[in-house]
Amino acid sequence: MKPVTIKYRPIVFIPAYRTVSGSFPQNWGEVSAKQLIAIACVYKNRISDLAFLKSMSGLPMRVLKRTDDYERFKLMEQLEFISDRRAFHEFIIQEIRLSKVIRPAREYGMRGPLLHAPEPKLKGVTFGQFIFADTYFSNYLESNDENDLNKFIAALYLRIDEKFDESLIQKRHSAVGKIDRTTREAIVINYQLIHEWLSLAYPLIFQRRNEIQAESHPELISGSDKKTTRDSSVWIKVFQNFVGDDILHDDVWASKPVNTIFAYMTRKYKESARSKN
In this predicted structure, the answer to whether residue 159 has a pLDDT above a threshold of 90 is yes
Closest of 152, 40, 154 to residue 101, by C-alpha? 154
Query: What DSSP designation does 119 have?
Result: P
In this predicted structure, the answer to whether residue 237 has a pLDDT above a threshold of 50 is yes
Lowest mean pLDDT among 71-75, 165-169, 181-185, 252-256: 252-256
More confident residue, 148 or 249: 148
220 pLDDT band, cuts 50/70/90, is very low
- In this prediction the pTM is 0.85
In this predicted structure, the answer to whether residue 32 has a pLDDT above a threshold of 70 is yes
The torsion angle over the Cα atoms of residues 86, 88, 94 and 99, rounded to 10 degrees, is 50
Lowest mean pLDDT among 35-39, 101-105, 141-145: 101-105
13 pLDDT band, cuts 50/70/90, is confident
**Which of 1-15, 82-96, 217-231 reaches the highest mean pLDDT?**
82-96
* Burial class for 127, CB neighbours closer than 10 Å (0-12, 13-18, 19+): buried
- State percent of the chain over pLDDT 70: 82
In this predicted structure, the answer to whether residue 129 has a pLDDT above a threshold of 60 is yes
Mean pLDDT of the region 124-135: 93
Beta bridge partners of 18: 8
Mean pLDDT of the region 84-89: 91
247 pLDDT band, cuts 50/70/90, is low
For residue 246, what pLDDT is reported?
A: 53
Q: For residue 272, how many other CB atoms are within 10 A of its CB?
A: 12
Q: How far does CA 78 lie from the centroid of its chain?
A: 22
For residue 50, what pLDDT is reported?
A: 96
What mean pLDDT value characterizes the chain?
Answer: 85
